[in-house]
Every structure is written in structure tokens, then in C-alpha cells.
Chain A
Amino acid sequence: MSESNFTTRFLKVFGINNQGHKRRDPLNVWVPLISVGLALIVGMIVIAASGRNPFRAYALLFGDSGLIPGGAAWRREFAELLIKSAMYIATGLSVALAFKGGLFNIGAEGQFWVGAIVATFFGYWTPVAHTFGAMYVALGTFGWIAQLLHGAICIIMGMLAGGAWAAVAGYLYVKRGVNIVIGTIMLNWIAWFLITSWLVTGPMTPPSQTFTSGTFYVADTAKLLRIMMPTRLNTSILLVLLAAYATWFLLYKTTVGYEIRAIGYTANIGMEAPRAQGINISRRILQLMFFSGALAALGGSFFILGLQYQFPNTATMGYGWTGIGIALIGQSEPLGVVLAGLFIGALRTGATSMQVANIPKTFSNIIEGMAVGFIALQVAVRYSLVKILQRRRSRTDPPADQEATT
């Protein structure tokens, strides 16, 4: 083996090949897989260290996750898995899209809830609800058209609001130089407190109810259609797959996507190249944040229209944070995000069953957090992988080893 050939191969393992293009690097697949694997092992150790049987716990976790067909409750679990995944994939796509443009949208959480509250509003707001209610009655057998339209309006309004919320952070970044991470964190909490401490307990609560009851319920026409009776599975998973495809198309098949990626590739080095190409960077970043926020808000509208049918007073944060983990595990590629979202959805579904073995359902957070931690450590993971690959090569191919050591 010539030295240049070895160098090329060596660089390739680090994700650098002749084209300077990282997409075909096998380690981009292996790093998240290994991270998740290591996280599962650490999770096992945590369970074992607390004196419980890790194998029984994991059997419960994966047995009831809906991933493995069979069993009496499988259809229900599979439906739950898809319902949960739809929301996580939406926030994951949101974070992933922003990553592609070199932005860390930590605010998917806030955008999710903005989307949720706006979808709730258009779901129950009397003028809209009555119009579609009347339309549903008038259309008779074609009533599903009214359902489709009302649902679409709720989702679109939610997405517009979520996008606008994210665009505020984009505006502050572009025009005022506010760090996008800080800006989106602050907007997260502003959205959260405005919604949970004011809207949900005040203006949007039915007057006859106590303040603990959450908002009005959305009209029947606004609810997402169920596609697999008798389970709760609704159209959200189909919509989110469509959104994933649209994200992929936007990123890899359109000029805007190309420009977004160009900005992302050069984000750490001043974005000179795209600027020289005549790309309007400020505008693209604003658009990117808008798309990103809209995707997170899509997840929020699923939360309301597919699951809760009102904004409950008991909502807890976490969808956006999970989205960050999913985007990282999915390496910011739409397909990867879908797979990672399904995996996390499965973990969350199965984790409720682990309560039988006295393990709280937040256990899946430990796995997620560990996986994200190992991805943060990816330089170390890559380094040790390369070491292992080299050692194996030296065992099977002594001359190459000689060359490597000299």
C-alpha cells in the first residue's frame, strides 16, 4: 500500500475524503449507533447498580415499545409509538434543519408550544369552529372535507405562529447580533410562561371551569382523523413523514437549501464563501429560522389536535429538548431524524411499562441524555474507532502496520 493511499484512507475514516464532502463517511452512521449502544449499556449499569435486573427491565422496555410485532397489546403499542414519534420527529426536524444552516435552534421547545396554543385557538375559536361545523353538516357524506380543511387551518396557523416565533430569534441574531442559542433559550421561557401562566389559566379557559382545567376543547372537525381503529393512531405520522420529505427536498433539491447548506458549512469561518457568491445571508437565516420554527410548531399542533384536544394545564416541557437529541442522533439528516425519532418514540412507549419493574418512566431521558453526551464526545468516539480499526488492520495486514508506524 502506498503512503498516499493510506493517508487517503486514514483521512476518510475521520470524515474527510477527496471531495471534502462528509456525507459518504461510514462513521457518520457508526457514531450515532455506537453512542446509542453505549448509552443503553450505561443505562443497564444504572439499573444493575440500583439492585434491579437490567435484563428484565430491558425486556419490558423493548417488549412493550411497539417495535417488535406480536403480543396482545402490540397494535396499541405500535400506535402509541407512532403518535409519540410524530411529535418528536417534528421537533427533531426543526433542530436538524437549523443545524444544516449552522444554527443551534435550542428553542424548538418554545416554538412547539406556540404552535400548540395557536392550533388550540383556531380549533375552538367560535367563528372558525362554527363555520366548519355548519360545513360538516351541509356536506353530509363529504363531511371529511370540512374536517380536512379545519385541521389544515389549525396546523397552518400554528406553523405560521411557530415560524414567526423562531424568526424573532433569527431577527435578533441577524440585525442585533444576539447569539442564537441565548436568544432561543430566552424565547423558550417567554413562550412557556406566557402560555402556561397566562393564556391557559386566563383568557383561554372556559368561564365556568376552575383554573386547573386547561383551555376550551377543540371542535370535532379540528381533530386529526384516526387511521387505525380502535387505536388512537392518527394522521400525524403521515404528515410528519411528508414534512421530513419536504425538508429533504428543501435541503438537497432547491436553491434555497443549497444556500442554507453553504451557510452552514462555512458558519464557523465567517461565511465568506456564500457571501462572495452573492447569497443574502441575513435573509436566508431568517427564512431558515422560520422553516425551523414551523416544523417544531407542527409537532405542537399534533400534540393538541391528535392527542389532547385542548391545551392541558398539566403539560410539561421536554419535546423540544428531545428534538435536539433526535437531531444529533440522526446526524441532522431527515432520514436519520425519522429513524432516531422512531427509536426515541419506542423508548418512551416502552418506558411506561418499566414502571412494573419499579423504574420511573423518565428512564428514557437517561438513555437520551447519555446518547447526546456520547455524541458530544464524538471526537473521542471517532478517535477510539480509528484506533480499533488500525489495530485490526495491523493484525490482518502486517506490512500496512509497518508503514503506519514508520
Chain B
Amino acid sequence: MIRYESQKVARWYLELSLLLFSLQVLIGLWLAINYAFTLPQGLIDVFSFATARAIHTNTLVAWMLLGFMGGAYFILPLECKRELFSVKIAYLQLFVFAGTAVAAVIGFLFGWTQGKPLLEIPVPLDLLIVVAALLFVFNVAMTIFKATERSLIQWMLLAGVTFLSLLYLFGIPFFSDLNADYYYWWWVIHLWVEGAWELITAAIVAFIIIEVTGVERKVVEKWLYVETGLFLFTGLVGTGHHYYWIGAPDYWLWWGGIFSALEPLPVALMVVDTWLHIKARKHPIVNPLLWTYIMGLALFHFLGAGVFGFIHTLPAVNYYTHGSQITVSHGHLAFFGAYALLNLVVFYFAMPQLKGIEKFDDRLGVWGFWTMVIAMVFMGLTFGVAGVLQTYLERILDIGYSTTHMAMMFWFKVVLFFGVIFLCGTLLTVYHLFTLKKVSEG
């Protein structure tokens, strides 16, 4: 029951995204094994932790970007009330992006890397990513310009994807001084997740809320303005919370500390407005699982990004927790809470429509949701325990590296346990989305 033929292109993006999601989680388990056990030299010589980590984080970025792009292509025709500007460009872009991602992963296995964490993709492949991004931004922009009606959601989406693409450029050049290198590295990493990606999230969520609740557009748009305004207000200067220990002026402690302490505010507003809109809904609940995901996104976004970020954002705390497993705890909870769940909202919104299903059988999906959410909460907390232990032993009691990290190994076995459960939840969810069926009558 898609309303526009060109929406179909989204299905390829979403399905590829789901496959990469599974791969990402699988590699994550391998990373936990590296921490939990002592692996033989011969094994790590051919497949090191560094290579596995590069694959884990790059597949994360790739599946999320594919989800955003697919999601944008699915909702744009609806929002613009017309077909996409060009389906051919959309397929070409998918081909370039996916091809580059595959080449990058294979390259990592053979040591072809730019050697910057999270941005390991080598420069020639970076340029192909830029080509894909340009095709995408062009296609989105042209679809919007050709629309007869203008809306805030269109602009917010366009601003988000343009901002996202521009920021990627700051990760490409070689810097000879390490602190400037990391200064601009954060323009990609931080300004993505606490800037551009938030714009896209807010726009997509606003659109889906209007669609499924039937709440008046004017009301949703008002919230959208306020939330994105606060996201950018706190998030832009909030980048400073990464500049405390890189060799930068003192004022970053103040600017970074204060602004990033305010960062949970817009996320909290998102919880409130999602709740209000759901309460004021005009349409009946057709697929309860989609609603569970929407509410889950709002709450987990707040917990993982907002609360767990706030806990260690102030300089006095961050001095001890920076670069420890506390960061890992926050990273996992925030990415899952904000962006994995957002993508899953998009999948559960778009996939049934792409398959012509109005009301789907959601039993497996419900299991998938709760398994993932519960496993991730415990995994995040276990990383947190390992992080507190690390911080306390190594940085407060001043106990040596070996003693500290051997004490942490037990907790990585626990992480591995919850990781396996999380993988089960992921596979259930992916399988469910691939095999969505109409709910049987009666």
C-alpha cells in the first residue's frame, strides 16, 4: 500500500541496513571475546582487535546511514506529495555507497586504513562516499524543490542530510598535529550524533508521529522547532566536552561543561512531546509494536544519550572517566537508544507498507524488541561496572595496568553473555522484518 511508486527504492536500503546491523552485532561479540579471554598470538596476528573494531564501528555507521537514507526516500514522497526526483539516482547512490562499504570492510581485513578511529575508511573510498552523499543530497533537494507544498519537516530533513555530508569532509585531511586532528575529528563524530543526526531523527520522528497519531501538523512542527533549536544550541558548543584533555584553552571546561550539561534537555522534551502526541492521538493504534518502538526510542534516547552522557560530562568527573569503559557504556546505550531504535522505528513504519500489509503479526517482533532492550540495558550497566572498576583501581588507587585489566576480564565475560542475548534479539527482529506477515483474522 505504498502511495508512490518511487518509495519502493527504500526497501533495498532498509534490507541491506538490517544485514549490516546483524554483522555489526556479531563482530561486537568477537570484540567482547578479545577482552574476556587471552587469545593466541597467531590468531590476533591475522585478525586483530583493531581490525574487528574498525568493522564493528563502520558497519554501525553504514547501517544507520542506510537506514536514514532509506527512511528519507520512503517518507519524502509522502511529505512532498510527489514521486522522488530520480529513482535512478537513488539506485546509483545505493550501489556506490554499498560497494564502497563492502570494499572498505575487505580493505580493513588486509590493513587498508586511514587509521583514524571510526573514520578508518581510506581517502580514495572517502571520495566515493562523498559522491554517494552528493547524489543523495541532490536527490532529496530536487524532490523538495519540485514539491508544490513546503513543510518544515522537508527543510529539517534537507538541512540534516546536508549538514551531515558537509561535516564528513572534516575527517578526510591529514593533520600533522594530533590535537588539531582530534579537534576536527569531533566535528564529524560529535556534530553528527549530537547535531546533524539529531535533526534527521527529529524530522523523521515528527513525520511518523503525524502519520500514525493524526495529531495536527502545526502542533508537531512547533515542538520540532523548539527541540531542534535546543539540540543545536546545546550540541554545537557542547562539542567542547571533548576538548578538556586535548591541549586546548581553559574556557572549554566552562563552555563544554555547561552546554553539554544542558544537552539532555531537548531529549527530555522529546519524551514529553511523544507522550503528549500519543495521548492526543486521533487514529486508532493499528500496529502496537510500532508505538512501543516510538515510546522506547524516546525513553532510551533519554536514558542512554541524556542521562548516561550527563553523568560523566562535567570536567571534574570526566578527568577520571575519559577514555575508560564508562565511555563504552555511554556509547552503547546512546547509539542503541537514539539511533538503533530510530532506525527500527523507520523499519517498522516502512516495511509493512512496502509489503502491502496494514496490520502485521507482531509476536516475534515483540520478543525481539524486549530481548534487545533488556540485553542492552544490562550490557550497558556491565560496561559501566567495568568502567567504575577501571577508574577506581587504575586512576584513583593508582594500581597498575595488568592488575586492573585482569580484574575487568570477568565483567567482559558478563558483557559477552548479554551480547549473545542481544544478538538473539537482533536476529529475531531482523528475521521478523524480513518475513512480515498479515495478522491472521479471528
Partners in one complex: no
Q: Tell me the B residues contacting A by CB distance below 8 Å.
A: none
